[in-house]
Structure 1
Amino acid sequence: MFSKDAIGMAADTLECWGRFERSFHGPAAGNPFQEITFQAEFRHHNRVVKTEGFYDGGGIYKLRFMPDAVGAWSYVTFSNCKELDAQYGQLQVSAPVGINRGLVRVKDAYRFTYSDGTPYLPFGTTLYHWFHHGDEEQEQTTLGTLAASPFNKVRMCILPTGEMKPSMLAFAGNREQGVDIQQFNPDFFAHMEKRLDDLQQLGIEADIILFHPYDQGVWGFEQLEPEVEEAYLRYVIARLSSYRNVWWSIANEFDFNIHKSMNDWDRLLQTVQRLDPYGHLRSIHNGTKMYDYERTAFYDYTKPWITHQSIQHWDTSWTTSWLDRCDKPVVIDECCYEGDSIRRWGNISGEELLRRIWESQIRGGYASHGEAYEGQGGGTWISRGGTLVGESPKRIQFLRELMETGQADLWELESERTCFWIYLGLSRPGYWELQLPEHRVFHIDLIDTWEMQVERFPQTYCGSCKVTLPGKSYLALRITAVA
């Protein structure tokens, strides 16, 4: 159909799940963010993917696209501006290379995979405003720290808190002179996109927090009008959805925002689902009563526009109950932070954080790291990045290596499982009794999760059996079927 006008044009080349970008000249007068519409249709055989372009300032409009299939693609643009309308082009898409495995998807209640089927186990950390402070040296230090860390996912905000004085905002304007919520700041997003590219090259997913309840009477972002919220989401998604390592977190601690109802959050989540042509992962994160299970204001994660559960709670042993209640993966994005903060959410020990992460992992969930040592100078890791000083990261690396070698296969019937994990935590029993499947023979490894040591018991086991233990805390048993 429309590709006939592109015959003879040189095709842009890129790999599958890479990012195509093309710039166009158009009007700069007035408010192009509101007045100019700019979309495109990308065709591969009989399939059409619709995307939105965006205004990048200075009379430049951009179109981005992430192809998900190898072969020839063609595209055509649509606009209410003559210069941007009926622009044609072709793409030639090759197989992905290196660490490019596509987007992270949900496989079942317990698992994530990349688009190519490679398993993905999230080991996350929190870096709320690490790229907001105009400190390139600090950002590069953060990237270097991440490169040497076990973390393959970071939580990060677009909007500032009321106490911040950021060098740039997502919207036009600044703290001193005021913010124009009818226009966006392309320079802010260009800087953010550099950091997204850096994370992508490190194999790290960016869990982007779109809203939060910490305006503190400064910005007014907590109570934007619905049409402004939709314009904001439309612009963010047009710019960022072609990055394969993006997740959407509609809000951090959504229930602390007194200006919004549950219907508002439903609307915003459905808006993201509708506008994102690639179906990136979507969730929302609770805040209320982190220390009280019965009164915690969880979102209803069974709703169809939610892909996984993003939970804040200190007691990660509830992972089993959350999975029973909703058959979507549980990511505990905050279970308190290792640190010395005056706030109780930021002053647990490395041992305790590691215990909570292990407790979630062996139950089929994924609890995240955070660090809040306030003596670092210039802010804590969770707010500014920099370097890590805590004791938990290298032990989380050890955990990640173990789990990527043999995650408990909780998605199988117990009689058919080939990998069991038992975590003993603080308890120090002298022995442990097991009931293993009778028709299989198993090896048992004793794991010291803090000292990072693995010791295999010399015999094999099946059915009803007992293992002797050294009476020490933070031990785990890995039970794997003999091949």
Structure 2
Amino acid sequence: MAVMGEHTQARLILDYEAGRAALSEALPEVVRNPDQFGGALDLPIGALATVFRVKEVAQQRLWSQLSVIEVPDRIQEPAIEPNPEYEDAEVLQASARLITPETGQVNETVEIALDGPSHGNPFTDVELHAYFSLDGQEIRAGGFYDGNGRYVVRFLPETAGHWKFRTESTARSLNGHTGSIIVETGAARGVVRVAETFHFSYAGGGVYRPVGTTLYAWTHQSPELEKKTLETLSTSPFTKVRMCVFPKSFIFNDNDPGLYPFEREGETWDTTRFDPAFFQHFESRIRDLGKLGIEADVILFHPYDRWGFQDLGAAADDRYLRYIARRLAAIPNVWWSLANEYDFVTTKTPEDWERFAGIVAEEDHANHLLSIHNGTRIYDFSVQWATHCSLQKVDYYKTAELVEDLREKWGKPVIMDEIGYEGDLEYEWGSLSAQEIVRRVWETNLRGGYYTHGETYYHPDDELWWAKGGELLGQSAERIAFLDKLVAESPTGRLEPLSLTAPTPAGGVAGEYELHYNGYSQYRYITVGIPEGRDAVIDVIDTWAMTVETLPGTYSGRARVELPVRPYMALRVRVNKAPS
């Protein structure tokens, strides 16, 4: 038997008389009117206690009372091992038809396919992988069953040359194939990876700046809405999209998707049999993003679920992770996020998340970025597998103001992936003004971090951008584009935080290109320091009106710059080169 605690699902606690009694003091409304909380009852009770600001003393009493309530342990299904006798001994080795391209491109997906057997359950009976080798380098890529007797192995080469491959499989007809592919140099940018400790660049060269947006369930909508979303993205400033693999059930997002990841037997999912059509569709949307130059931040688990996908059991979780990692690992514009709001997923333990990270890292030969996203409790990003910090605000007032401390704490890039959403919902996270979103974006960027936008305006058809996509209604996206253009014009294409005595942030390349942001403050003038023996051109920037006024002449020494007396103003200091 197990006992309850702060990670226990609120709905489960309400099923027990002792649980209801324990909740009566800390969260009486949950006990008196449970129906009004809807899907929130699927969250861990610790999350509800934080969201509804239960006092610390009351929380500790609640955990103590819950710790003596026993609940049955979950019965875990055993893992399924591949079948070494899947094909009879008379089946010839390497007899399946092999389909392989003659050439490929550096930093682009190379795919080999085999027309093989389909009896039994190829998803669990057959293990397939290939080894790709060049000049002493060997890369292992896992294969997957794509339905209708088709098996696929994908590879993402980062080096040009004459790559050779060989296959290994528990199916005799798939085992022992050999071949070669000429990989040519191309212009593809490839995978995004961490660069210079706190930033990002493409494997093929060039600065990458995450300018994110949130589209949790956009791939689970109608073809018409998906098309409209891509059209909107094509004219947007966004270079990253946060998106869930599993469908999402939450406010303004209660429609059933057209496809599901597993086959169904009556009301039960057969987690041993994937639906290839679901994953083919998901991949197509990722490739559509790639054509627009947008990275897909793929969220592997989330708590907002009425179909049972967050509670499949350990063996099914592991099968799913290996399957999707093998399918997506060779697609360049993929990032991995183990979870959205991991601490709200009541069915997973800290050990589970560590195991999941190991599986994804093992199956991802291309070494894509990997992180995890919090609800109310920030993950320990000191873990080696986390390439960057993906964060949601945990303070009602502070978000971007914490970026510099978090960079120093973790020594990794910091992305404020949920700084709050521009919208008009009745929830504090979804009712921020465009002005406040723009302020948070400027603060984040100038403090050395990155950010993700979201929009949650009411819509008569429940087409909220943050969940389903469609069209942008707000005013922050164009102002985010304005800021990113200013960042792109810096000598490095990035900003580093600048240490100044002012409480408002400044970022850039010290002594060369500086952006000073005034935030809420409405200074009449501001004093900036120009390096000795140099002069500078100074621009006054209205971050809301998106105007840049270049002041006449040049400035030197301790320069006083007059400003309009209004908030959300910024300065740009462009220092001229020293005389040669």
TM-score by length of 2: 0.76
Residue 18 in structure 1 maps to residue 105 in structure 2: no
Residue matched to 1:108: 196
Residue matched to 2:463: 379
CA change 1:76–1:417 in 2 (3 A) is: farther
Q: Which amino acid aligns with 1:213?
A: P
Q: Shift in Å at residue 417 of structure 1?
A: 4.2
Q: Deviation per CA, 1:61-100, whole angstroms, max 9, x where unpaired?
A: 1111111111111111000111111112211111223xx2
Residue matched to 1:173: 264
For 2:426 and 2:497, the matched residues in 1 are separated by 40
Asked if structure 2 preserves the Cα contact closer than 8 Å seen for 1:108 and 1:327, the reply is no
CA change 1:418–1:95 in 2 (3 A) is: same
Instruction: Give the SS at the match of 2:301.
Output: coil
Q: Shift in Å at residue 164 of structure 1?
A: 4.2
Q: Shift in Å at residue 268 of structure 1?
A: 1.3
Residue matched to 1:254: 342
Q: Deviation per CA, 1:251-277, whole angstroms, max 9, x where unpaired?
A: 000011223222221221122112211
Pairing partner for 2:572 from 458, 465, 478? 478
Asked if structure 1 preserves the Cα contact closer than 8 Å seen for 2:447 and 2:497, the reply is no
Q: Which amino acid aligns with 1:171?
A: F
For 1:472 and 1:412, the matched residues in 2 are separated by 23
Larger deviation: 423-432 or 34-43? 423-432
Residue matched to 1:121: 209
Larger deviation: 188-197 or 18-27? 18-27
Residue 160 in structure 1 maps to residue 225 in structure 2: no
Pairing partner for 2:438 from 342, 348, 354? 354
Where do 1:76-475 residues align within 5 Å? Answer: 76-97=166-187, 100-133=188-221, 135-162=222-249, 163-173=254-264, 177-215=267-305, 218-288=306-376, 297-313=377-393, 315-375=399-459, 377-406=461-490, 407=493, 409-410=495-496, 417-438=511-532, 440-475=534-569
Where do 1:67-78 residues align within 5 Å? Answer: 67-78=157-168
Residue matched to 1:42: 132
Q: Which amino acid aligns with 1:468?
A: E
Instruction: Give the SS at the match of 2:549.
Output: strand
Larger deviation: 376-385 or 365-374? 376-385
Q: Percent identity?
A: 41
For 1:441 and 1:209, the matched residues in 2 are separated by 48
For 1:109 and 1:84, the matched residues in 2 are separated by 42
Asked if structure 2 preserves the Cα contact closer than 8 Å seen for 1:444 and 1:478, the reply is yes
For 1:211 and 1:11, the matched residues in 2 are separated by 34
For 1:416 and 1:380, the matched residues in 2 are separated by 41
CA change 1:462–1:272 in 2 (3 A) is: farther
Q: Which amino acid aligns with 1:14?
A: G
CA change 1:419–1:190 in 2 (3 A) is: same
Instruction: Give the SS at the match of 2:332.
Output: coil
Q: Deviation per CA, 1:363-392, whole angstroms, max 9, x where unpaired?
A: 111111111112252421111111111111
For 1:258 and 1:10, the matched residues in 2 are separated by 44
CA change 1:241–1:376 in 2 (3 A) is: farther
Q: Which runs of 5+ in 1 are unaligned?
A: 1-8, 289-296
Larger deviation: 68-77 or 376-385? 376-385
For 2:198 and 2:385, the matched residues in 1 are separated by 18
Instruction: Give the SS at the match of 1:83.
Output: helix
Asked if structure 1 preserves the Cα contact closer than 8 Å seen for 2:128 and 2:167, the reply is yes
CA change 1:349–1:409 in 2 (3 A) is: closer
Q: Over aligned residue pairs, what C-alpha RMSD do you find?
A: 2.0
CA change 1:91–1:408 in 2 (3 A) is: closer
Instruction: Give the SS at the match of 2:232.
Output: helix
Q: Shift in Å at residue 412 of structure 1?
A: 9.0
Q: Which runs of 5+ in 2 are unaligned?
A: 1-98, 501-508
For 2:446 and 2:136, the matched residues in 1 are separated by 44
Residue matched to 1:294: none
For 2:247 and 2:215, the matched residues in 1 are separated by 13
For 2:416 and 2:130, the matched residues in 1 are separated by 37
Instruction: Give the SS at the match of 1:375.
Output: coil
Residue matched to 1:3: none
Instruction: Give the SS at the match of 2:310.
Output: helix
Q: Deviation per CA, 1:169-220, whole angstroms, max 9, x where unpaired?
A: 122228x7331112211000111111111111100000000001122xx333
CA change 1:363–1:416 in 2 (3 A) is: closer
Alignment coverage as a number of residue pairs: 461
TM-score by length of 1: 0.91
Q: Shift in Å at residue 142 of structure 1?
A: 0.6
Instruction: Give the SS at the match of 1:354.
Output: helix
Q: Which amino acid aligns with 1:262?
A: P
Instruction: Give the SS at the match of 1:280.
Output: coil
